[in-house]
Amino acid sequence: MRRRDFLALSAGLLAARSARAAQAHIEVFADEPIGTISPDLHGHFTEHIGGVVYDGIWVGENSKIPNMGGIRSSLVEALRALKPPVVRWPGGCFADSYNWRDGVGPRGQRPRRANFWINDPFMVKAPDGPQKYEPNWFGTSEFVRFCRLVGAQPYLAANLRSLPPKDFYEWIDYCNSPAGLTSLADLRASQGDKDPFGVRFWGVGNESWGCGGDFAPDEYAVEFRRYTAWLPQFGVDPALIASGPNGGDIDWTRRFLDKLTEKGKHMLRKVYGLALHYYCGTSGKGQAVDFTVDDWYSLLAKATRMEPLITEHWAAMGEIDAQHRVKLVVDEWGAWHNPGTEVHPAYLFGQMPTMRDALISALTLDTFHRHADKVAMGNVAQLINNLHCLFLAREDQFVATPNYHVFRMYAEHRGSQAVRAQFAAPAHPARDDGRNWSVTGLAGSASIQGKTLVLTAVNTDASRPLDTEIVLRGATAKSGKLSVLAHPDIHAHNTFSDPGVVQAREEIIEARGSAFTHRFPPASVNKLVLELGS
């Protein structure tokens, strides 16, 4: 046998043995593009709720806590490293009780209001303070300065429930009118902001099916048309985001778009995106830190419901918007646990993110990447001290949660071309809410930019590693490196006293040719960066 034939036969035998040993399979189709992964898919959300704004973002200019004009310095520095694309504010349900004029003018003279959430049973028991009685220290100018400090675009949610359209128009005027040309531009300048903010993203109400007005979808469509008629632009083409469905409410999507286009399909040009909200909530005792392996699988399974929500709403949108001019905007998503792990008694919906939440972050971002042609923006809820947060803070203490590390790992996908990839591994069954759930054993996404392929993968198995055969179609790898977020304890989390329990590690891996095998640790988030050959 010639040496060349012997080597080819040996390579074939090795590949066959590797395939037999592998428990899972990933196939990446380098020549099957999906769409560009918009950085906006990795966006954030900040609401005046609990400890998000006060003691989270805003500590005050005279605080002993290091700050940049009143904004927590440690948060700014951590976010800068993440390069956040967009931040949504001021809500959430708070938005539809908020008058933007309350947050302008001299800070000491701004009105104090009862916060929207004051009647929540948790807040009834909470101590008095800015989380309960809104002092309006943090208004439009402060929020835009925060966005500029961290390098993000602002996304403002307008009050449709309790303010007339005139107030929406005038908020746009305040933000975007050229210096010195309108009275509202002069008001902005009096805050120290002579130049316009150039705000592009505007939400027209929030959760209008619920706290945003209890509208029926056709009723909201009429309000949307009224609020968006003849908006001032000031050189900025506004990207208007309509209040979309709650989870799987396909009827809302159909009826809203049907009523909106009653006067013609040209009305679709007004809508940049339709806002879908979905939280995967825990049931039973529903604790953020204290959970069983069955709880682990059931919540991860609920997180993967994001995919059918996207495809089903997209199909319904296509019935009316055949050209799909309107995209989906998932501007609230994440895990929602029962109270008991918040770091302060006034932090409504505060919870301690663990490795389970990190996997939910990765599963969701991978879903957005796989549907980069459908989803224009995603905003995890919320940034700090609330729900699926990236940070926790109390007074001078500050820590990044496991979710932060996932966002930092996944940033390398941004701006790349998403390509089709198939993931196969044994699924894990679970039962929750009286239903049978199932979560895939392995999920992820792939993208290519130039000669670099980024492959992210989540091993959902709580205790076992996953030997996986990775096959590249239409490409070959010449080298690779790995980032992995994992911990032997699925309950692991970072705390003020021990901030480095969960963090990513990096290493060089053997990744050559069009097929190789890699072992993914149990309960892990993984990123493989492969340099491709010519």
Model confidence over 261-319: pLDDT tens digits?
Answer: 999 999 999 999 999 999 998 766 678 999 999 999 999 999 999 999 999 999 999 99
Confidence tier at 2 by pLDDT (50, 70, 90): very low
Residue 76 burial (CB < 10 Å; 0-12/13-18/19+)? middle
DSSP H or E stretch at residue 246: strand 239-246
pLDDT at 427: 95
Cα 286 to Cα 119, 130, 290, 336: the distances in Å are 22, 28, 8, 9
Model confidence over 221-274: pLDDT tens digits?
Answer: 999 999 999 999 999 999 999 999 999 999 999 999 999 999 999 999 999 999
User: In terms of DSSP bridges, do strands 24-36 and 466-473 run parallel, antiparallel, or are they unpaired?
Assistant: parallel
pLDDT at 534: 73
Distance of CA 33 to the CA centre of its chain: 23
By residue count, the chain amounts to 534
pLDDT at 120: 95
Whether residue 532 is predicted with pLDDT greater than 80 in this model: the reply is: yes
Model confidence over 384-430: pLDDT tens digits?
Answer: 999 999 999 999 999 999 999 999 999 999 999 999 999 999 999 98
User: In terms of DSSP bridges, do strands 86-89 and 153-158 run parallel, antiparallel, or are they unpaired?
Assistant: parallel
How many Å from the N-terminal Cα to the C-terminal Cα in the chain?
Answer: 31
**Residue 59: which of 118, 174, 137 has the closest Cα?**
137
Whether 74 contacts 398, CB under 8 Å: yes
Plot region of 386 (φ>0 → left; ψ -120 to 50 → alpha; else → beta): beta
Residue 392 structure tokens:
């926790």
pLDDT at 328: 98
Whether residue 325 is predicted with pLDDT greater than 70 in this model: the reply is: yes
pLDDT at 15: 43
pLDDT at 285: 66
Range picked from 14-28, 208-222, 420-434 for highest mean pLDDT: 208-222
Cα 4 to Cα 108: distance, rounded to the nearest angstrom = 82
> Of 95 and 4, which is predicted with more confidence?
95
Mean pLDDT lowest for which of 56-60, 429-433, 460-464? 429-433
pLDDT at 8: 36
Whether residue 13 is predicted with pLDDT greater than 70 in this model: the reply is: no
CA dihedral 155, 159, 160, 161 (to 10 degrees): 140
Model confidence over 463-493: pLDDT tens digits?
Answer: 999 999 999 999 999 999 999 999 999 999 9
Whether residue 20 is predicted with pLDDT greater than 70 in this model: the reply is: no
DSSP H or E stretch at residue 250: helix 250-260
Which of 42-60 are b and which e, b meaning 16 or more Cβ less than 10 Å from the residue's Cβ?
bbbbbbbbbbbbbbbbbbb
Task: Give, in degrees to the nearest 5, the angle at Cα 461 between 17 and 15.
Answer: 10
Whether residue 19 is predicted with pLDDT greater than 70 in this model: the reply is: no
Mean pLDDT lowest for which of 27-41, 278-292, 343-357? 278-292
Active site residues: 207, 332
Cα 318 to Cα 411: distance, rounded to the nearest angstrom = 30
Alpha helices, DSSP H, located in 372-489? 402-410
Cα 87 to Cα 151: distance, rounded to the nearest angstrom = 10
Cα 495 to Cα 352: distance, rounded to the nearest angstrom = 9
Whether 151 contacts 87, CB under 8 Å: no
pLDDT at 430: 83
pLDDT at 283: 65
Rounded to an integer, the average pLDDT of 157-184 is 97
DSSP string for residues in 75-89: HHHHHHHH---EEEE
Residue 345 CB neighbour total at 10 angstroms: 15
Percent of the chain with pLDDT over 70: 96
Domains and their CATH numbers in the chain: 18-35+418-532 (2.60.40.1180), 38-93+140-414 (3.20.20.80)
Whether residue 21 is predicted with pLDDT greater than 80 in this model: the reply is: no
State the residue for tokens 């340099």. Answer: 531
Cα 240 to Cα 373: distance, rounded to the nearest angstrom = 18
Mean pLDDT lowest for which of 4-18, 266-280, 368-382? 4-18
